[in-house]
């Protein structure tokens, strides 16, 4: 029987800075251990010219850095793909970047026998609305009964996002949701047939679990990172942006420091120039209590995970955060918002929930973050309990093997 051909599309520059990069590494690991022909199609790759090569049984089609975003160069991309890929019912294209409606349409036209799977890593509307699903629903309902030309520019821009998303979702043969919230949004707001939607959480390969009882090793690691033995580490992983709740977390820090002056907030991740400048200005009064690492390698990140006292996920929304899965894997007690998607991963058993409340008046959320962090800092028993349950959740739901089994079933079912 002819093997299935898996084509995974990636935009290298952006995926190296967000969770899509981690997702693709885990997805490639899943498929590479199965009996599939796997090909990674990379745009803006680290190459000076178009090339095709093979590494560790994975074929790679590499496009060099382009003058325009790859989604605007569909005509060029399409010609190259047709030269090197034969249309077949055994083909499955995995699309991971949005918006890319033109690319989906092009694949649909020129590879009619192949299947197209679109994975939702984010919704465009979640950024301006900070993941407020009720507000999104309200705007869509209001604009549907508004006379043409009477809706505000803001509402019209949200509606345009909706139309582009819906067009993509309808064009794809199948859609992968990383959270149950997203499944519900697709079914009830975008009116997508649920038979073409698959819910598959992100998975992550396990690494050696930190030895909490090994105090000397922990102290040596802290020393290597220029920390004092008495420092308490709050760990934030991700792009430090408004959507990730970083400014609310920074606003909560002075409240935390009044009770626990030895706390250090470690921010792992890079933002754009504007957000980083704002962060530097914001932390000025508490500069000695905040560490900005920027983007770091996996070895250094694991060091921070191994010595962290508390993980913090302050996002207003997530699909299925790899930062959260990493914290679970290391058995960290976690403070997390009740934002869209996050309430599918965390509950009062495996994390301490800080309610967002009114998004227009963030003082409430900032105080809830501070209160949750302080409560954990003051109770080693609660920290141990939540860390234990977080690790159990990882083993039960987010290990790579679970992800692999679900993708195997998906491929068998759709081809």
Per-residue pLDDT in tens (0 to 9) along the chain, 415 residues: 578 999 999 988 777 778 899 999 999 999 988 889 999 999 888 898 999 999 888 999 999 887 766 676 788 888 999 999 999 999 999 999 887 888 999 999 999 999 999 999 999 999 999 999 999 999 999 887 665 456 688 888 999 999 999 999 999 999 999 999 999 999 999 999 999 999 999 999 998 654 444 677 888 999 999 999 999 999 999 999 999 999 999 999 999 999 999 999 999 998 777 788 889 888 989 999 999 999 999 999 999 999 999 999 999 999 999 999 999 999 999 999 999 999 999 999 999 999 999 998 999 999 999 999 999 999 999 999 999 999 999 999 999 999 999 999 999 988 7
The domain segmentation of the chain, as residue ranges, is: 4-121+172-204+399-414, 215-398
CB atoms within 10 A of CB 163: 10
4-121+172-204+399-414 matches 215-398 in fold = yes
Between CA 123 and CA 158 the distance in angstroms is 11
Alpha helix (H) ranges present in 70-152? 74-84, 101-110, 126-129, 133-144
Predicted local confidence at residue 209, as pLDDT: 56
Neighbours of 90 (CB within 10 A): 19
Per the listing, tokens 């739901």 go with 397
pLDDT of residue 208: 61
For domain 215-398, the CATH superfamily is Glycogen Phosphorylase B; (3.40.50.2000)
Residue with tokens 């178009």: 50
Closest CA to 355 of 365, 367, 347, 343: 365
Q: Which token pair is 112?
A: 């009619």
- Give the whole-angstrom CA distance, residue 230 versus residue 12: 40
CA diameter of the chain? 69
| HSE of 279, CA atoms in CB hemisphere, 13 A | 27
> Cα(78)–Cα(366) distance, rounded to whole angstroms?
48
C-alpha 415/C-alpha 190 separation (Å) is: 25
Please provide the DSSP assignment of 269-300 as one string.
Answer: S---HHHHHHHHHHHGGGGGGEEEEES--HHH
DSSP letter for each residue of 206-233: --PPP-TT-HHHHHHHHHHTT--TT-EE
CATH architecture group of domain 4-121+172-204+399-414: 3-Layer(aba) Sandwich (3.40)
User: What does the DSSP assignment read for 304-327?
Assistant: HHHH-SEEEE--SB-SS-HHHHHH
């Amino acid at each position: 029987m002819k093997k299935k051909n898996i084509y995974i599309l990636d935009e290298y520059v952006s995926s190296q800075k967000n969770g899509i990069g981690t997702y693709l590494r885990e997805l490639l690991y899943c498929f590479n251990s199965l009996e599939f022909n796997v090909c990674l199609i990379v745009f803006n790759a680290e190459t000076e010219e178009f090339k095709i090569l093979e590494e560790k049984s994975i074929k790679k089609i590499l496009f060099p850095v382009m003058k325009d975003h790859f989604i605007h160069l569909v005509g060029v991309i399409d010609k190259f793909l047709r030269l090197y890929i034969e249309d077949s019912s055994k083909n499955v294209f995995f699309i991971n970047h949005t918006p890319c409606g033109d690319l989906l349409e092009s694949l649909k036209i020129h590879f009619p026998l192949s299947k197209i799977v679109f994975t939702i890593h984010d919704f465009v509307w979640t950024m301006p609305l900070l993941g407020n699903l009720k507000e999104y629903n309200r705007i869509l309902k209001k604009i549907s009964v508004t006379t043409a030309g009477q809706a505000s520019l803001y509402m019209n821009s949200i509606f345009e996002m909706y139309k582009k998303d819906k067009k993509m979702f309808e064009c794809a043969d199948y859609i992968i949701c990383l959270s149950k919230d997203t499944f519900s949004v697709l079914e009830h707001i975008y009116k997508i047939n649920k038979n073409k939607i698959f819910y598959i959480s992100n998975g992550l390969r396990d690494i050696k679990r930190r030895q909490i009882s090994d105090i000397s090793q922990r102290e040596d690691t802290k020393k290597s990172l220029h920390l004092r033995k008495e420092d308490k580490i709050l760990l934030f992983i991700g792009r430090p942006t408004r959507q990730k709740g970083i400014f609310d977390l920074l606003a909560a820090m002075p409240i935390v420091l009044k009770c626990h002056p030895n706390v250090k907030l470690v921010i792992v991740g890079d933002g754009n120039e504007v957000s980083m400048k704002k962060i530097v200005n914001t932390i000025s009064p508490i500069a000695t209590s905040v560490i900005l690492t920027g983007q770091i390698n996996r070895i250094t990140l694991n060091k921070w995970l191994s010595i962290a006292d508390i993980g913090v996920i302050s996002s207003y929304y997530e699909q299925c955060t790899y930062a959260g899965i990493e914290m679970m894997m290391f058995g960290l007690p976690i403070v997390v918002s009740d934002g869209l998607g996050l309430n599918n991963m965390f509950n009062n058993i495996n994390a301490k929930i800080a309610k967002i409340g009114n998004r227009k008046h963030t003082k409430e959320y900032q105080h809830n973050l501070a209160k949750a962090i302080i409560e954990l800092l003051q109770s080693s028993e609660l920290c141990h309990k939540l860390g234990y349950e977080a690790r159990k959740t990882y083993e039960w739901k987010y290990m790579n093997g679970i992800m692999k089994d679900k993708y195997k079933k998906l491929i068998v079912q759709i081809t």
